[in-house]
Amino acid sequence: MKTFKNIIAIALITFIAFSCKNETKPEVKTIEVASETSKKLDPNATYAKAEFTIDGMTCQIGCAATIQKKIAKMDGVKSATVDFDRKLAMVEYNEAKVTPTSLEETVTKVADIYKVSDMKTVEGFSTKKACTADCTKPCCANKTDAEKKACAADCKKACCAEKAEA
């Protein structure tokens, strides 16, 4: 019986020693994906630029990026950018293939919570950047470090609002 236990113990130790390698090699897979540059744009087309507000977005990656990808994949769209912080979409499109209504429909088809408003055609896209104020305003004064971290996001919003009014 002792011999059987010793054989089992040696087999178990051998199994563990050879199965736990520190050198792991990642599996590499190559997937061919169609890029935006592979789209064929008509050089003779008339391109318009539109800006519009998208309400209902709750995050940068799940909402804004998804909407941007859907708009960019539309036939006739030259470029699309969705700025989550400003809730603003900026799209350059072929007027013969895309209309403001089709842009709005594409956004609302992504999810029912997204609402398009303030649709306007522009000569150039707005370049106003989002506020990058730090949390040194009185809203975080006299608080502990933990409380300052907890209120940092709200303080930035309040500070940005104060900057916009000034």
CATH number at residue 99: 3.30.70.100
Model confidence pLDDT, tens digit, residues 5-38:
899 999 888 877 776 655 666 666 666 555 544 5
Is residue 116 located within the same domain as residue 137?
no
Higher-pLDDT residue of 84 and 134 is 84
Q: 67 in helix, strand or coil?
A: helix
The answer to whether residue 116 sits within a structural domain is yes
Is residue 97 located within the same domain as residue 138?
no
Q: Would you say residue 118 has pLDDT above 80?
A: yes
Q: What is the mean pLDDT of residues 122-129?
A: 67
- Residue 57 C-alpha from the chain's centroid: 11
The answer to whether residue 26 sits within a structural domain is no
The answer to whether residue 22 sits within a structural domain is no
Is residue 92 located within the same domain as residue 137?
no
Q: What is the mean pLDDT of residues 60-75?
A: 90
- Percent of the chain past pLDDT 70, that is, above it, reads 62
Q: What is the mean pLDDT of residues 135-154?
A: 55
The answer to whether residue 160 sits within a structural domain is yes
Tell me the pLDDT band of 44, cut-offs 50, 70 and 90. Answer: confident
The count of other CB atoms within 10 Å of the CB of residue 99 is: 14
The count of other CB atoms within 10 Å of the CB of residue 119 is: 14
The whole-angstrom separation of Cα 77 and Cα 51 is 13
Is residue 90 located within the same domain as residue 159?
no
Domain extent, residue 95, equals 43-122
pLDDT at position 45 is 83
Q: What is the mean pLDDT of the chain?
A: 75
Q: Would you say residue 166 has pLDDT above 60?
A: no
Domain count, the chain: 2
The whole-angstrom separation of Cα 122 and Cα 138 is 39
Is residue 74 located within the same domain as residue 54?
yes
Give 122's contacts (C-beta < 8 A, 6+ positions apart): 49, 50, 51
Q: Which residue has the tokens 């592979």?
A: 38
pLDDT at position 32 is 59
The answer to whether residue 163 sits within a structural domain is yes
Contact 58, 103 (CB under 8 A): no
Is residue 49 located within the same domain as residue 114?
yes
pTM: 0.53
Q: Please report which helix (H) or strand (E) contains residue 94, including its range.
A: strand 88-94
Angle between helices 65-72 and 100-110 (to 10 degrees): 140
Secondary structure letter of residue 138 according to DSSP: G
